Structure formats: structure tokens, C-alpha cells
């Protein structure tokens, strides 16, 4: 016993000495204590509009939207934006733009703010976008009510069947009719700002509409009506679920097509819209709904109705790009964000800037913009972001001052130590990026065959686990052991990744070596970390198995 106590005292002394050294270093040179990788990951985006759209400060400009991308989406990543207009517009980087005449491979994401409802897109342009998506590029598309936006987007594969673009008749391939701009059948989300009447121009005030995000979850054994839930990553904000968007008097609609089997041919290129993966076709889904409001005085009453506000398709499991569609570009234009130029009402003239609450709403909405840009990025860009985010966390003062075992082989670090440091790391991650985004950094490290077995209680099938069929686990209940194993898995993954990086890069001056890591070498390093993490979970999980039946019997007794 004396020998054990002496060893514990020696370990404690060593740890305290290390903490003192690190504390002194941090006080003398904070920048050296947390070295930052110089080359952050660029999410390269092409933003395209046509007709009356622009990129400046006009009412139908995108200047306020673009300002959202001045803020980094997390450690180790930044946005690079190129703007393009279908006509000659001085606010655009590229004039008289066409997809087929430009190298789209340099971008992660194409944003389409389609305004024009006359004319048709050239088949060569459709082919260029289809090839971009089939090579992993992400696409966002929106128009407005009726056929606004159909020229640019009405023939683009996936985009054309995830949002309604045609009015007053169905589309050439039977696409459904879009909601009109007037009458009781329009989509009106304009909110009452508490002044007794609702005006059309209230779309420009500081009161947003409330949307209803899709929530993904699993039932809990203790309380059957409780569910572990999370939204789509595009609606996962730093302060919780994003539940607001700007309002408007006549929005469009996103939907899920009934037929997923189409193969479209444009300019000699065949594009399978919704390919099969493991016998199941990738399928679009609505991730948020809007509700009609009571009606505005200029437009009259409106039917009670819910409609798709945001739709998505995750093409990554099928080696395709991701797609997102939105009900209207009024969620993005200046007139709905910063107010209408020249409006005599001071609130309608300044939009969300009219109040403290409004500015908070605007920041939440801008998080949706950034989240969308991140989610749509190519898989290799996501891998780049993951590497730099974990590097950043490794040097965070809460981690760097608490790593204890850098002088021994990584494989020898105890399971509980990986889980301990991983729990701290997950907390640090959550303070620098939305939780859904941090889970997106960790989950891909686990081989697909283990993801469902380990994570289903807290990360059920959905956008974070797109490889799983919800029907496989819809009848399961989350028991205490399964939940504990799932939490331990995420903690062990985070801890193992941090320790693996720390063992490889022990000194603060190792930035250059980390910068030189190729994507393949970084992926190998994190794969090694995942192997050790899974072994750690196996060890800890084995200790929990014996208590599982006893715990279930206890719960059944409580229910009786």
C-alpha cells in the first residue's frame, strides 16, 4: 500500500509540475500556447442570380446575406465567395454568366437565387450543373411564388423535383403546380408585429416567422414520451435549434417527389436523379415547415396550411453532392433582412436592425446561411475542416493543460483516460461550433458497420447517420446501458483523436509539420485514433453488460 501511495503522489507531483509549466507558458505567450494552423479550409462558393436580383444594397440585393460569410463557421474554416449574374450587373464578380462557360470544379457549393420566370436554360448549362453535383459539389436553389425562378432551376436534376417551380400548369415531366402569388391558396407567413393590423410591408420588420424543424430522435426507456432529439445540421445553432426565418406574403414550396426513379438526359449527359445505395434510393426530405398566417390586408384571407419551407438531399452516401432548396429568396434578400429602402415606417425601413431582439434574430438566421454553406460542401472539404478543428481543440487551454500521458505510446493510454479527456474536448467543441457540426466531425471516424450498433440511442437515423434505415430501429427503446455506451463512444472518439494528434505533435512549434500533413496522412492518423477508441468502448461497455438486465428489471418494477 505504501508503494501505491508513493506512486500516486509522484504522479500527482508530475502532473502539477506540468500544469505549472503550461500555465507560465500561457501567461508569457498565449499565441505559442495555442498555435493555429495558418491555412484554414476554404469553402468555395459561387452565388448566382438573374433578373432583378443583385449583390449590392438594393431591396432585392444579397449584400446582407453575403455578410454572413464574413464570419468563420468554426475553427479552421472560412468562406470564399464569387458572385455571378446572368446579365450585365456591376455588383457581380462575373457578368453575363453561364454555367457551361465556367469551370465549376473549383467550387464546393453553387447558390442559385433564381428570379426570372421567362425563357429556358440551355441544356449545356443543365449538364454542367448535373456533372458538378455528380462529382460531389453541393447545390442550393430557391425562387419565389408561382413560376419565379423556373428559367434557371426548373430543369436542373434533383432541384427541379424538390421544389415547385411551374405555374399555372404542371411542368413538362409532370412536376406539380407551385402556389400562386394571390388568393386564398397563396403561402402567407407574414407575422403580426403587435400594432393591430398586418401589412404586406411587415415582411421588412423585425418580427420573423416561426418554422417547425424536423426533429430526429429515439424513444427513452424511462419515459416513453421523451425523445433524444436533434434537428438537421443546417438548423442546429450555437444557442439551440433554429426555429425562425424571415416572413413573406407569398412563398413557394418544397416537397418530396413520389417518383425517385427518373434518369434525365441533357446535352448527351445521363443523370440518375436519386441513385440507389445498398438497395435503397437516396431520398429527399423536408427538414422544416412553415404555417400560413391569418392574411394581410392587401392580399386578403389565406387558407390554413403547412408547407415545406426547406428541403434537402444528402447525396454523399451515393458519391453525389448534397442539395438544399428553400421556399423563397425572400428569406435571403435585403428587403426582408435589413428593411425596405425609403419605407416611411422606421421599423419596416430598418428590418431586423430595428431592435435588439431583431438583431438577435438576424444572427440566428445568418447561422442558417452559414450552416447551409458548410453542410453542402464537398466530402474532402469536410475532412479538411475536421482535421483543423481537432487540431484547434488539441491546443485549447482546457485540453493542453490536462493531457497527462504524452510520454507513452498512444496505444497504451487507458480507456478511461481517453473518455475523460474526450468529455472535456466535446464540451470545448460545443463552444466553438454547433453540436450537430461537432458530431459531424466525429461520426465519420467510425466504420459504417459500427455506427448503428454504438450510436443509435443518441444519434438515430437521420442526417448524421444517413447510412441507416429508420425502420431498423423504430421499435427500440433506449436503455441506460445503450445510452451510456453511445455517450462513451463519442467521448472516446474525441479523446482518442485529441491524444493521437497530441502524441504526433507534442510541441507548440509543430505547426509546420501539421500544415504539411496530406489529407491521406491526416485521415490515417484519425483512423488509428478511431481503432483505439473502439477498443476503449469495448472495454468499458463490457463492464456495463452485467448490469443491463438488472437495470431493466428495476425499470419494469418502477413502471408497475
pLDDT at 23: 43
Residue 424 lies in a domain: yes
C-alpha angle 279/275/466, rounded to 5°? 70
Residue 33 lies in a domain: no
pLDDT at 503: 87
Which residues does 363 contact at the CB level (< 8 Å), separation at least 6?
A: none
Is there a single domain that holds both residue 422 and residue 345?
Answer: no
Extract the C-alpha cell encoding 57.
444594397
Name residue 229's beta-bridge partners.
Answer: 217
CA torsion angle 328 329 330 333 (round to 10): 170
CA distance 66 to 71: 10
**CA dihedral sign, ordered 230, 236, 238, 242:** negative
Please identify every stretch of the chain with a pLDDT value under 50, giving residue numbers as ranges. 1, 3-8, 13-16, 18-33, 223-226, 551-552, 554-560
Is there a single domain that holds both residue 451 and residue 474?
Answer: yes
Instruction: Report CA-CA distances (Å) from 42 to 72, 81, 152, 310, 373.
Output: 10, 10, 27, 25, 11
Is there a single domain that holds both residue 370 and residue 415?
Answer: no
Is there a single domain that holds both residue 132 and residue 274?
Answer: yes
Is there a single domain that holds both residue 447 and residue 501?
Answer: yes
pLDDT at 4: 45
Residue 3 lies in a domain: no
DSSP class of residue 558 equals H
Instruction: Give the domain-ending residue among 317, 342, 377.
Output: 377
Contact at 8 Å (CB) between 155 and 121?
yes
Contact at 8 Å (CB) between 461 and 216?
yes
Instruction: Report CA-CA distances (Å) from 511 to 32, 149, 162, 497.
Output: 10, 47, 44, 17
Is there a single domain that holds both residue 60 and residue 200?
Answer: yes
With CA atoms as reference, report the closest residue to 149 among 296, 21, 328.
Answer: 328
pLDDT at 431: 78
Other C-beta atoms lying within 10 Å of the C-beta of residue 548:
16
Helix (H) or strand (E) holding 422: helix 415-432
Is there a single domain that holds both residue 449 and residue 488?
Answer: yes
Extract the C-alpha cell encoding 153.
432551376
Return the axis-axis angle of helices 480-504 and 379-394, rounded to nearest 10°. Answer: 80
Residue 11 lies in a domain: no
CA distance 206 to 338: 9
CA distance 443 to 438: 9
Is there a single domain that holds both residue 69 and residue 84?
Answer: yes
Contact at 8 Å (CB) between 315 and 332?
no
Domain carrying residue 96: 41-377
Is there a single domain that holds both residue 362 and residue 404?
Answer: no
Look at strands 109-113 and 306-313 and give their pairing. Answer: unpaired
With CA atoms as reference, report the closest residue to 202 among 214, 215, 191.
Answer: 191
pLDDT at 392: 84
Residue 357 lies in a domain: yes
Helix, strand, coil percent content, the chain, rounded in steps of 5: 45, 15, 40
C-alpha angle 142/144/149, rounded to 5°? 65
Contact at 8 Å (CB) between 77 and 385?
yes
pLDDT at 21: 42
CA distance 498 to 386: 12
Instruction: Give the domain-ending residue among 333, 359, 377.
Output: 377
Contact at 8 Å (CB) between 203 and 331?
no
Instruction: Report CA-CA distances (Å) from 320 to 23, 232, 313, 461.
Output: 47, 19, 10, 19
Number of domains within the chain = 2
Q: For residue 104, how many C-alpha atoms fall within 13 Å in the half-sphere facing its CB?
A: 27
Residue 111 lies in a domain: yes
CA distance 219 to 18: 45
Residue 541 lies in a domain: yes
End-to-end Cα spacing for the chain: 47
Is there a single domain that holds both residue 371 and residue 396?
Answer: no
CA distance 454 to 476: 13
Separation of CA 500 from chain center: 26
Residue 27 lies in a domain: no
Is there a single domain that holds both residue 481 and residue 351?
Answer: no
Instruction: Give the domain-ending residue among 377, 402, 424.
Output: 377
CA distance 300 to 231: 34
Is there a single domain that holds both residue 255 and residue 306?
Answer: yes
Amino acid at each position: 500500500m505504501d508503494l501505491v501511495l508513493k506512486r500516486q503522489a509522484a504522479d500527482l507531483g508530475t502532473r502539477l509540475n506540468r500544469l505549472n509549466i503550461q500555465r507560465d507558458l500561457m501567461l508569457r505567450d498565449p499565441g505559442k500556447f495555442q498555435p493555429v494552423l495558418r491555412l484554414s479550409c476554404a469553402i468555395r462558393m459561387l452565388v448566382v442570380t438573374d433578373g432583378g436580383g443583385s449583390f449590392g444594397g438594393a431591396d432585392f440585393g444579397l449584400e446582407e446575406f453575403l455578410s454572413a460569410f464574413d464570419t468563420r463557421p468554426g475553427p479552421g474554416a472560412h468562406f470564399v465567395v464569387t458572385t455571378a449574374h446572368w446579365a450585365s450587373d456591376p455588383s457581380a464578380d462575373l457578368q453575363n454568366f453561364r454555367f457551361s462557360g465556367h469551370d465549376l470544379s473549383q467550387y464546393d457549393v453553387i447558390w442559385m437565387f433564381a428570379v426570372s420566370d421567362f425563357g429556358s436554360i440551355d441544356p449545356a448549362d443543365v449538364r454542367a450543373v448535373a456533372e458538378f453535383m455528380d462529382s460531389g459539389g453541393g447545390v442550393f436553389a430557391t425562387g419565389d411564388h408561382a413560376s419565379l425562378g423556373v428559367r434557371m432551376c426548373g430543369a436542373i436534376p434533383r432541384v427541379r423535383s424538390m421544389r415547385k417551380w411551374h405555374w399555372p400548369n404542371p411542368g413538362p415531366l409532370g412536376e406539380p403546380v407551385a402556389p400562386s402569388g394571390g388568393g386564398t391558396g397563396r403561402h402567407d407567413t407574414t407575422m403580426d408585429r403587435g400594432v393591430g393590423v398586418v401589412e404586406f410591408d411587415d415582411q421588412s420588420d423585425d418580427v420573423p416567422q416561426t418554422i417547425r424543424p424536423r426533429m430526429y430522435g429515439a424513444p427513452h426507456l424511462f419515459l416513453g414520451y421523451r425523445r433524444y432529439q436533434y434537428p438537421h445540421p443546417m438548423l442546429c445553432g450555437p444557442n439551440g435549434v433554429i426555429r425562425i426565418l424571415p416572413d413573406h406574403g407569398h412563398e413557394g414550396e418544397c416537397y418530396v417527389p413520389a417518383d425517385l426513379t427518373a434518369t434525365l438526359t441533357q446535352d448527351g449527359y445521363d443523370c440518375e436523379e436519386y441513385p440507389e445505395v445498398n438497395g435503397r434510393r437516396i431520398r429527399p426530405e423536408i427538414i422544416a415547415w412553415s404555417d400560413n398566417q391569418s392574411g394581410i390586408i392587401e392580399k386578403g384571407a389565406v387558407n390554413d396550411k403547412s408547407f415545406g419551407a426547406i428541403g434537402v438531399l444528402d447525396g454523399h452516401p451515393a458519391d453525389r453532392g448534397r442539395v438544399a432548396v428553400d421556399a423563397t429568396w425572400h428569406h435571403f434578400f435585403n428587403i426582408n433582412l435589413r428593411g425596405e429602402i425609403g419605407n416611411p415606417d422606421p421599423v419596416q425601413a430598418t428590418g431586423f436592425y430595428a431592435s435588439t431582439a431583431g438583431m438577435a434574430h438576424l444572427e440566428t438566421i445568418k447561422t442558417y446561411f452559414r450552416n447551409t454553406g458548410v453542410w453542402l460542401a464537398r466530402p474532402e472539404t469536410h475532412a479538411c475542416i475536421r482535421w483543423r478543428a481537432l487540431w484547434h481543440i488539441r491546443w485549447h487551454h482546457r485540453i493542453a493543460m490536462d493531457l497527462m500521458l504524452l510520454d507513452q505510446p498512444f496505444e497504451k493510454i487507458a480507456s478511461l483516460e481517453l473518455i475523460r479527456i474526450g468529455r472535456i474536448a466535446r464540451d470545448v467543441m460545443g463552444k466553438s461550433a454547433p453540436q450537430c457540426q461537432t458530431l459531424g466531425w466525429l461520426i465519420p471516424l467510425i466504420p459504417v458497420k459500427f455506427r448503428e450498433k454504438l450510436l443509435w440511442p443518441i444519434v438515430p437515423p437521420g442526417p448524421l447517420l444517413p447510412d441507416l434505415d429508420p425502420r431498423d430501429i423504430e421499435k427500440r427503446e433506449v436503455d441506460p446501458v445503450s445510452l451510456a455506451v453511445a455517450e462513451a463512444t463519442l467521448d472516446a472518439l474525441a479523446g482518442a483523436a485529441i491524444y493521437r494528434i497530441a502524441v504526433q505533435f507534442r510541441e507548440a512549434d509543430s505547426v509546420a509539420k501539421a500544415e504539411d500533413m496530406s489529407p491521406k496522412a491526416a485521415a490515417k492518423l484519425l483512423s488509428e485514433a478511431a481503432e483505439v477508441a473502439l477498443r476503449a468502448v469495448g472495454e468499458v461497455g463490457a463492464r456495463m453488460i452485467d448490469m443491463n438486465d438488472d437495470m431493466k428489471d428495476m425499470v419494469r418494477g418502477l413502471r408497475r
